[in-house]
Structure formats: C-alpha cells, structure tokens
Amino acid sequence: MELSGKKKLHALSLAEKIQVLELLDESKMSQSEVARRFQVSQPQISRICKNKEKLLADWCSGTANRERKRKRESKYSGIDEALLCWYHIARAKAWDVTGPMLLHKAKELADILGQDFVPSIGWLVRWKRRNNVGFGARHVLAPLFPPEPPPPGLASQTQPPLALKDFSPEDVFGCAEVPLLYRAVPGRAGAGDQVHVLLCANSRGTEKRRVLVSGLQAAPRCFFGVSSEALPASYHPDVGIPWSEWLAQFDRDMGRQGRQVALLLAAQVVEELAGLPGLCHVRLLPLSTTSTTPSLPSSVIRAFKAHYRRRLLGKLAAVRSKRAGTSLAEAGADITVLDTLHMAAAAWAKVPPQFIVSSFLQEGLAPCKVPLSSNRASEMPPVPGGLSLEEFSHFVDLEGEEPASGGCKEEMGTKDEEGAGEGGCEPLPTRADALRALGTLRRWFECHGASPELFEKFYACEEEVERLCCL
C-alpha cells in the first residue's frame, strides 16, 4: 500500500510575514482567512503574531534579508553582532569594505571576546546572507533631507552627508525644545509663567533622555536645600536651552556605550551651534529650513503636554482642597518650578514607547518604511472631570495662543511663607517630619480603602525613607 504524500510546508519570507501583520492590523480578517490567502496553516499565522515584535525589529533594522524564509542564528552570535556594528560604522564613514577586511576584523573581534574562532570564506558568505550585506563600489548614500551647508565651526559635520537609513532605529534620536506655560489654568494663562522643556527620545521609544527644564534668570526659592542629584529632571537657571552643554553630555554618554548615533535637529539650532567642539559619537542630521516636520514628532510633544496638563489639574485640585475658597488662578500661583520638574518627568514617563514608534514612522523620522497602524487614543490621557474633550484639547494647546515671552517669573512665595526659615523660605523638613508624614499617609490610606497594589508602593517608599533617615 502506497503511503499518501505529506502536505508540503509553505514557509513565508520576512516580507510576506510583514504583509500578514498588516492585514491583521488594518482589516477585520481572521487568522484563518489570512492563512487561506497565503496558503499556509492557521498555527503558522498564530506564530507570526506571537513573534510580531521580533519580526518588526528585523524589518526596521534594514539589515535583515527580507526574502529569507528561515532565520538560522549563528553559533558565534557575539562576533556576528559586533562585526555588523563595525560594518555599519565603516559604511557611515564611506570606507571601502572588502571581504578580506571583514575576515581580518572578525578575527580581531573574536580575540577581544576571548573566543577560539577562525572565520572562513563560507562563514563570511553566510554572515552576509544573514545580515543582507552586499559589496560594491564605494558610494555615499543620499540624505533623506535636503543637505544644508554646514556652519563654519562644526568640523565634525563636514564629513559626507548621512541619511536615516545609515543608522538602526535604536540609534536615531529626535529632540525638541518645548515652550510650556507651567502653571496655566483652563481659560487663563500667566503671560510670563513660561519655561522651556527639552525632550529627546530614540525612534524605537526604548530610550528617553532625562528631561531638561530652563527659563529662569535666577534660582527660585523653592530649590533651597534641594539636592539636584535627587531630582527626576535637570534644571538650567537661565533663559533658553544650553545646547552646547547638553550635546557634549549626550556625546559622552554615547561614547561610554560605544555607540554612533544620529540626532535630528532643526536647521536653525544647528546654525546656532557654530563654534561647537567636534562631536565624536553623535552625528547631527539637520532638517531642511523649508521643512515643517519637527525634529521630534509633534504628536509626541502633544502627548507630553497632555499628560503634564492632566497632572497639573490634579495638583491644582489638591491645593484648592487644602485651602477652601481658593480660586484656580490663586492655586496656580502656588505651583513652583520644582513642582514643574516633577510633573514634567512624570508626564514624559507616561508617553508610551509604542506611541513614540508609530509617531516617528508616520512623520518619516525613522529609518523604516513599514506603515504601522497606531492607536491615536494613546496620544491623550483620559479627559479630567469637569472638562469636555474640546476644553481639554484647548488647554493642552494653550502655548500656541500666547506670544513668546522670556523666562517665567521667580516664585516669590505667599504671605504666610514670608519670613519663615532662612532667606524667606519654608523650613526644611527634618527626619522626624518625614517619619510623621509617612504615618499620616498610611493612616489616610487605611481610612480610605487603598488597594493592596498601592500599599506595596507605599511600603517601598516607606522603606527608602527609613533607610535615608538612618544615614
């Protein structure tokens, strides 16, 4: 009796798997319907969905062979990844990369990693196939944005122009200077109560740089006795963003990680950086002067402001509950720059990585051409009670209706605070005050039915306060 032949397995390429994910995201087709369309089994479609993150990362990297149907990992994965990193750096510098050069470099990397490995021609062929590497005449890739003439002091930026596709998504950063009316209330904004916030993140949303806030000509009183190292955000006591200092620190941080990264910047900012010492690990990619695209997606900026405004409304409500009869405007006057640093850091942390990824892709600021569907609802946090969606949206975009002003006014303190403590500041809390406050907070939780999850967070805070009190 002749056995019936087994059903031939139809493996999908990386490009076809991405098409499967697009169909499932953008249409209402079931996995079974998609499986019939691609002539594969439904469990295979299910496995593709489970590996969605990895597949998208391979596609966006630009290095994976998109026609390969199976991905076999190298036995020497550390050498494989290190050589690929070196190859991209060499290409970014427009070097002539040859096979013998790669073999020699692979051997060097193996010695550094302490592995007994002798690369062969066969290994190199498989490495090139795995990472979609091809050789040819040396050429410089055309930049994504129209090239701008470099300012006369940026010697490091006079090298051949680069494009976004010369970098992996993890190494492409966007940053923006965001004006923020930091203690505005719905329907009213103080004309001089403005700070500038610097936001920076990579196009994968996996790295958010520390928030920087500037805008005061003098250190406000609320900073008396505060350790800057303990703050969740950086503070610059001057009007405007200190671009030179910030870029130098960014370059040092990337150097410690052994990375070469790209930073999207507005053309006018790059022009202002004439005379800046050369950057070794950060390459500036200026946007065209005629481009309306911001160097950080506008939807990401708006999401940050929406989370900040929601947190600000909560702070205003707390002030009003503490002092009966206080108006919103009077409560807003109690918001300090120190409060702003904490609220800005909390708002930036609440912008989800998935939303950052989709925003970079939709605005063409990421080295990936895959159209991904994004949940635009994640742009805005839930609308606070007492405001309609239109009113909250207007509150979020309040800066667009205010004329640009210098820095914000220095907090002068309330009448009750004048003369209290040194220099007219409120006395610094003692260890006894901190422990007493913990007891009060725990009692308040007990009386208002706090959840077990909230108590777990409180216990962690309580433990840290007790540790600091024992130092």
Q: pLDDT tens digits for 251-264?
A: 889 888 888 899 98
Contact 238, 214 (CB under 8 A): yes
Structure tokens at 281: 């690990």
Per-residue b or e along 179-205, where b marks 16 or more CB atoms closer than 10 Å to that residue's CB: bbbbbbbbeebbeebbbbbbbbbbbbb
Look at residue 261 and give its three-state secondary structure: strand
Domains of the chain: residue spans and CATH:
14-61 (1.10.10), 77-131 (1.10.10), 163-401 (no CATH), 428-469 (no CATH)
Percent of residues, the chain, with pLDDT higher than 90 = 8
Query: Which of residues 423 and 365 earns the better pLDDT score?
Result: 365
Q: What is the pTM of this model?
A: 0.58
Q: pLDDT tens digits for 333-342?
A: 888 888 888 8
Average the pLDDT over each of 35-49, 107-121, 375-389 and give the range with the smallest value.
375-389
Query: Which of residues 300 and 65 earns the better pLDDT score?
Result: 300
Query: Over 50: is that where the pLDDT of 422 sits?
Result: no
Q: pLDDT tens digits for 138-177?
A: 433 334 444 444 444 443 333 444 577 778 888 999 999 9
Query: Over 70: is that where the pLDDT of 64 sits?
Result: no
Structure tokens at 14: 């990386």
pLDDT the model gives residue 373 = 47
Per-residue b or e along 60-95, where b marks 16 or more CB atoms closer than 10 Å to that residue's CB: bbbebbeebeeeeeeebeebbebbbbbbbeebbeee
pLDDT the model gives residue 308 = 92
Q: Is 282 left (phi over 0), alpha (psi -120 to 50) or beta?
A: beta
Contact 294, 176 (CB under 8 A): yes
Average the pLDDT over each of 175-184, 389-398, 418-427, 435-444 and give the range with the smallest value.
418-427
Query: Measured between alpha carbons, how far is residue 167 from residues 81, 147, 262, 269, 291 in Å?
Result: 15, 17, 7, 22, 21
Query: Over 50: is that where the pLDDT of 95 sits?
Result: yes
Q: pLDDT tens digits for 264-306?
A: 888 777 777 766 667 888 888 887 666 666 789 989 999 999 9
pLDDT the model gives residue 426 = 65
Q: In what order do the strands lie in the sheet with 212-214?
A: 234-236, 212-214, 194-202, 172-181, 261-265, 282-286
Alpha carbon dihedral 126, 130, 132, 135, in 10-degree steps, equals -20
Contact 293, 364 (CB under 8 A): yes
The mean pLDDT of 302-328, rounded to a whole number, is 84
pLDDT the model gives residue 424 = 47
Q: How many residues does the chain have?
A: 471
The residue ranges of DSSP E strands in 164-238, in sequence order, are 172-181, 194-202, 212-214, 234-236
Query: Which of residues 449 and 170 earns the better pLDDT score?
Result: 170
Q: What pLDDT band is residue 370 in, cutting at 50, 70 and 90?
A: very low
